[in-house]
Amino acid sequence: MAEPKGLNKPVKLKSDLASFLGDTELPRTEITQKLWAYIKSNQLQTKTENGKPENAGKFIVADAKLLTVFKNTNATSKSGKVTDLRNLKEGETINMMQMASVVGANIE
């Protein structure tokens, strides 16, 4: 059987994400699935920036547990967009499009 490649290849998780997910290596696809499962099961989505959780919408509300992972994010995309979540506070939101930056910042 062929070895997994690309998004299906397991990557090493940094300590905060490893503690959050309970694993030290996972494929990016599985990391994203597990983060979204947590967000949905804890109803941490909202339709408005910094709105109250309502379990729907494009913004993700940072609870204490997610904050430990989000705070490690300080990345610049190829297009030059900066995602700096180091000063994010509990109850504040991120746009769901920033999840790729969050995952990228938390793997080695």
- Here the CATH number for the domain that contains residue 31 is 1.10.245
Closest CA to 67 of 81, 45, 49, 86: 86
pTM: 0.88
Q: Tell me: pLDDT of 55 over 90.
A: no
Neighbours of 47 (CB within 10 A): 11
Domain that holds residue 50: 10-105
Say how far apart CA 38 and CA 55 lie, in whole Å: 12
Residue 26 is assigned to a structural domain of this protein = yes
pLDDT at site 38: 97
Residue with structure tokens 């920033």?
A: 98
pLDDT tens-place string over residues 65-92? 999 999 999 988 888 889 999 999 999 9
Nearest to 73 by CA among 54, 60, 56, 55: 60
Q: Confirm whether 59 is domain-assigned.
A: yes
Residue 1: per-residue pLDDT = 66
Is residue 4, in this structure, part of any structural domain at all? no
What pLDDT, in 10s, does the model give residues 7-16?
A: 788 999 999 9
Domain count, the chain: 1
